[in-house]
Amino acid sequence: MSSLDHFFLELQTLKASTDLEGLVAQFSEFVPHFSEISPENRDSNFRFLSQFSAAQREDIRAFFSTSWAKFVRGKLALDSIAAEVILIASLRFSGLYDNQFFAQHFEDFQTTYGYCPLELILDMDDEASGYFPGLFFMRWLMICFVGFGMPATAKLLSAFCWRHDESYFDLEKMWFGHDDFFEKSADLSLGALIVATEALAKELQIEVTMSPDFPIFYPVFPVADLPDEE
């Protein structure tokens, strides 16, 4: 039994965890090439991912794809501690955790599937009242990109918006039609959020399934051209 197998065997005995971040940190040490980045260079937005070559990125993608197939899709409930550890790490290592990396690929998403005005949701955030629709929606959107892939995410958004114009996602209509779903999502684990999304999709009579491959959304511009983080 490998060290990784043993790690997940121990995770499966946990019913709850008070140190989920610690478990994700332990799992991250198994990710190929992560150990090559010194701790002081592991920034919280995971911008260090841009330092990896195409071959190294493929090693990372393959690692997560195998982990999903072996530990999540094959054996574990999505709302388990072990599945949550993989999902959190998957999101971080996807490259979408950084706002600028996300923005670059979200532009590609809009070019392919239609204009999606995030500002309609982000502008609803109200710090004074502690109400953050933008935060709820962005968390859902990113886990959908990683868990279902961009084509399926576009399919979900189309249904949520009752879309009639193929060039535009009416997020305002989506929010006021499904605000209860997104507000409740804030209290869900990533695994439970995927389960809830699948349930809503079924209710709306659309079929989506988790992607069999782990997508990576690294920047396509040269590392030397990376803009400074604001």
Q: Give the tens place of pLDDT for each residue, 125-167.
A: 998 888 899 989 999 999 999 888 889 999 999 999 988 888 9
Closest C-alpha among 115, 83, 120, 122 to residue 99 = 122
pLDDT of 27 reads: 93
**Residue 75 predicted with pLDDT over 70:** no
Please give the average per-residue pLDDT across 13-21, as a whole number.
76
Chain Cα centroid distance, residue 46:
13
Is 114 or 228 the better-scoring residue by pLDDT?
A: 114
Residue 122 and residue 134 in contact, taking contact as beta carbons nearer than 8 Å: yes
- Tokens at 177, concatenated: 């039609």
Closest C-alpha among 187, 185, 116 to residue 157 = 116
**Residue 55 predicted with pLDDT over 90:** no
Domain limits, the chain: 3-97, 99-203
- Tokens at 128, concatenated: 């004074």
Please give the average per-residue pLDDT across 168-177, as a whole number.
92
pLDDT of 35 reads: 93
Mean pLDDT of the chain: 84
Q: How confident is the model at residue 61 (pLDDT cuts 50, 70, 90)?
A: confident
Please give the average per-residue pLDDT across 182-201, as a whole number.
90
Cα→Cα distances 223→50, 55, 88, 93, 173, Å: 6, 15, 25, 17, 39
C-alpha to C-alpha distance for 117 and 227, rounded to whole angstroms: 23
- Tokens at 4, concatenated: 């990784």
**Residue 223 predicted with pLDDT over 50:** no
C-alpha to C-alpha distance for 59 and 34, rounded to whole angstroms: 11
C-alpha to C-alpha distance for 167 and 161, rounded to whole angstroms: 12
Write out pLDDT tens, residues 79-112: 788 888 988 998 999 888 888 788 888 998 999 9
